[in-house]
Structure 1
Amino acid sequence: MPPKTKDKGRKAGAQKKKKNPGADVEAEGKHRLVLLEKELLRDQLALRRDEARRAKASEDLLKQRLQGLEAELGRARSEGKAIYAEMSRQQWALQEKMETQSKQLEEETKILREQLETCQKEAEAAREEAEQALKEQDQVLAQLRAHVEDMEAKYEEIIHGNLDQLLAKLRAVKPQWDETVLRLHAKHKEQLRQFGLNPLDL
């Protein structure tokens, strides 16, 4: 009995299949469509997973680059702060140095101005003294010239007066001098004759 039931069932199924072949084709088509959709979904899911992995890798790479850039930015900020601090220190030191040099130059300028004023006053005083000395020297020279001229006039007067007196005396003495010369000459001739000499031979 049971085998007969099985056969009957097979027969019934066979009969059904035979009776609805279009339904089987449609079911098989739907099954294949579902399988295709399933494969398509699997492929899409795989693509999405690949895209997600690539996106994750890109995100990790971007995070690493971002961390590197943040580290470089931090170092740059630290270096910038250090450079700014060093430049501020140098600027402050330079400003203090410039202020010190400016004060020194102001003091030196003040001292030099005072020395210049003193030198100008001394030079003015020396110029006035020199002018006064030159005036006095000119006066002394004028007095000396006048004195010399006066002495020259007096000496000329004295010399001319003495010469005139001397010439007068010579004129007065000349006759006596001529007589004495003639007398001595005659005496000399007489002495030569006494010795037997001719005065003309001499």
Structure 2
Amino acid sequence: MPPKKKTKKTTKKAPEKCENDVEAKYKHSILDIAVLQDHIAIQRESAIKIQSDRADLRRRMRDMEQKLQHEGQDHRDVNSDLRRQYKSMQTDLSSKVKRLEKEVGQLKEELVLCQDELKREKREREQVEQEKDTVISDLCHKMDNMETDYEKILHETLDCLTSQLSVAGQEWKGKSTELHQNHKDLLSEFGLNAANI
């Protein structure tokens, strides 16, 4: 018996659905990668800003130290009151320098954290890419297997159909020979020659 048309339609829909799933997963992976790249760009900008702020703080600290040295040289001969003021100012500046050094330390810690997070994001992105490549490879392998299976089923169906057609042809040939013979017999009963008709 020949295969039903409904079976052929179902067979064609399965690869299309699989292709749509692969395409959707591929688009989803591309979106994930774009989000990760944006996140990395933001982290990179933050790290650059932190480094710039750190360099500015160091420059300001050097400038202040130079200012202190110049003021010390310019005011050596000043009376004790000015020296007291200078010491007071030096104390203030020292505390400011300490505060700035503390801020620099905090910024360094933040920079280390940002660098660690950037490394983690890179590792996660690489892992996502590896998983994506694995999934794509698996899907390609499955598609190849499905194609081989469908080809095998098609060949088997065609072979079965060919053998059924051959059997049906032999049956019809036998029946037509029998029918021709019956007609010849009937014509000969009426005295007619089948070859002349």
**TM score, norm. by length of structure 1:** 0.45
Bigger RCO of structures 1 and 2 (CA < 8 A, at least 6 apart):
2
Which of the pair has more CA radius of gyration?
Answer: 1
Of Structure 1 and Structure 2, the greater helix share is in: 1
